[in-house]
Amino acid sequence: MSQSPEVRSRTPITQVVVPLLVVIVSSLFAYRIADLNIQTARRQQTEEFESRRLDEARAKRGDIYQRFLESANRFAVAALKAETECPRICPSPPGEFQTARFEFQGSLNEVYIHGSAEALDKSRAVAATLPPSLGSLTGEVTITRVDGSLFTNAYREFLSILCREIPAKPRTEC
């Protein structure tokens, strides 16, 4: 039995078109799979980068917060000592006081730049319990009395910020 000419003429087209469609669909499917893999890899890289960036920022803040607390303590001790050596306005404050004042102001500036809004607020509360830390143009320094209990409370409040913000998993008692 022979095929009609119409059927014979369709057979070669079918033999070409069907494999061609299979190749096209397979290629599109493979392209889509490859694109999804690339998107997934990019998303993972972005997440890893962001995680690394947050870890580095947390470590930096930890150093800054720790230095702030240490310099606040040194400044409070130096102010208590200077208070006995100098009147309220001191034209020539002791060197230890000047060094502690300068270091405290520097660490306060670092909290201002790198700290959270809450840390900045608590750092200002600590600073309010201490003598003014900004230098004056005249060279004279005001030495105010440090209230130990106000300082201690403000110090602890800032310490609780450090405890909450710096560890990867903060303790519940923070």
Is 171 a member of any domain? no
* 19 lies in some domain: yes
- The answer to whether residue 38 sits within a structural domain is yes
Contacts of 107 (CB under 8 A, 6+ apart): 64, 67, 68, 70, 71, 72
Range of the domain at 77: 5-165
pLDDT, position 2: 58
Q: Is residue 53 part of a domain?
A: yes
35 falls within a domain? yes
State residue 89's pLDDT score.
66
Does some domain include residue 174?
no
Count of domains in the chain? 1
Q: pLDDT digits over 97-145, tens only?
A: 889 999 999 999 999 999 999 999 999 999 999 998 877 666 667 778 8
- Regarding predicted confidence, which is higher, 143 or 3? 143
> For the chain, how far is it from start to end, CA to CA, in angstroms?
92
Fill in the DSSP letter of residue 145.
P
Backbone conformation region of residue 139, classed left if phi is above 0, alpha if psi is from -120 to 50, else beta: left
Taking residues 51-78, report their average pLDDT: 91
